[in-house]
């Protein structure tokens, strides 16, 4: 096995190494924050930043989520963060990637169970388990396999609250908070997923409101109590999602503002 660490894969691996190095060399949280933040000069060009090995530049380009995962993988694999030699740990890194991809197969199965039935779920998971591109990608350190792991987890949590109605209230709020946390991680893992959680939330609210209007129109009028009950039913769930989302996005927003001014 060989880890192909050229191009973006190399940059991701180096970002992970720099994060791990910052953890090892920090005595407390404040020292760690000082190491990951170095203000970029206002005249810095994007092409210079793309090739920079400065940790702040790398985090602004690669995002914080996937490099943090690779830092954990390198910690498990025994990579020397100060003098990383990835070739010496290729089997361990491949194994971590393969375990993550296997978890994606399981999540895909459970998503299929919720949305369809056991046969569809098994067929989908087995097709993905034998999908050549996914197998090959376990020998690379690109962000796509990690992103579709998060996408599967986000889909599973969302389908769980939409299609299963036997959750107790504390468990239900915990799942909604989990949706918020995973939504934040998903949005920071790939630019393509930034719009997905708010788009789905908007569609679900619109469909629910339309169903309420149709239901109440059969009674002749839309009562104020029905509108209040509809809004109140989403209040706790919405707050749980927002709190989970803020837990992930707020620190990143402050970092982004400090490092780039945006």
Structure tokens at 95: 């194994």
pLDDT at 5 over 70: no
- Of 160, 192, 187, 189, nearest in space to 176 by CA: 160
- Mean per-residue pLDDT, 78-82: 89
So what's the pLDDT on residue 43? 43
Return the ∠ at Cα 25 (arms to 22 and 26), rounded to 5°. 80
So what's the pLDDT on residue 11? 83
pLDDT (tens digit per residue) in 206-256: 887 777 777 766 665 555 566 666 666 677 788 888 999 999 999 898 888
Residue 32 CB contacts under 8 Å (≥ 6 apart), including other chains: 22, 23, 26
Provide the whole-model pTM.
0.83
247 strand-pairing partners:
none
Residue, of 61 and 159, whose pLDDT is higher: 159
CA dihedral 251, 5, 91, 71 (to 10 degrees): -20
Structure tokens at 115: 């949305």
Look up residue 191 and give its DSSP letter.
G
d(CA 262, CA 247): 19
So what's the pLDDT on residue 235? 75
So what's the pLDDT on residue 216? 65
So what's the pLDDT on residue 86? 85
So what's the pLDDT on residue 50? 63
Q: Across the chain, which distance is largest between two alpha carbons, in Å?
A: 73
So what's the pLDDT on residue 191? 84
pLDDT (tens digit per residue) in 19-70: 898 888 888 877 887 777 755 554 444 555 566 677 787 788 888 999 999 9
Q: Which of 75-79, 91-95, 174-178, 216-220 has the lowest mean pLDDT?
A: 216-220
So what's the pLDDT on residue 162? 83
Average pLDDT value over all residues in the chain: 83
pLDDT at 141 over 90: no
So what's the pLDDT on residue 68? 93
pLDDT band at 8 (very low <50, low <70, confident <90, very high): confident
pLDDT band at 71 (very low <50, low <70, confident <90, very high): very high
Give the range with max mean pLDDT: 49-58, 104-113, 127-136, 190-199: 104-113
């Amino acid at each position: 096995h060989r880890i192909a660490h050229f191009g973006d894969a190399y940059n991701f691996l180096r970002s992970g190494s720099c994060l791990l190095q910052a953890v090892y060399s920090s005595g407390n949280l404040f020292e760690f924050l000082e190491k990951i933040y170095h203000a970029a000069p206002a005249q810095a060009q994007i092409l210079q930043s793309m090739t920079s090995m400065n940790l702040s530049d790398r985090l602004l380009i690669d995002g914080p989520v996937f490099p943090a995962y690779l830092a954990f993988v390198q910690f498990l694999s025994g990579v020397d963060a100060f003098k990383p030699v990835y070739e010496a740990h290729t089997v361990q890194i491949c194994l971590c990637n393969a375990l993550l991809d296997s978890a994606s197969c399981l999540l895909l199965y459970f998503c299929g169970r919720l949305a369809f039935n056991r046969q569809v779920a098994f067929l989908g998971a087995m097709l993905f388990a034998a999908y050549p591109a996914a197998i090959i990608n376990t020998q690379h350190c690109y962000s796509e396999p990690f992103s579709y792991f998060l996408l599967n987890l986000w889909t599973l949590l969302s389908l769980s609250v939409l299609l299963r109605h036997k959750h107790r209230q504390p468990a239900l709020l915990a799942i909604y908070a989990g949706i918020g946390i995973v939504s934040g991680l998903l949005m920071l893992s790939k630019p393509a997923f930034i719009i997905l959680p708010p788009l789905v939330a908007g569609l679900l609210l619109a469909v629910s409101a339309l169903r309420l209007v149709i239901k109440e129109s059969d009674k002749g009028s839309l009562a104020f109590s029905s509108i209040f009950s509809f809004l109140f039913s989403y209040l706790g769930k919405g707050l749980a999602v927002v709190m989970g989302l803020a837990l992930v996005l707020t620190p990143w927003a402050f970092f982004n503002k400090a490092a780039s001014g945006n």
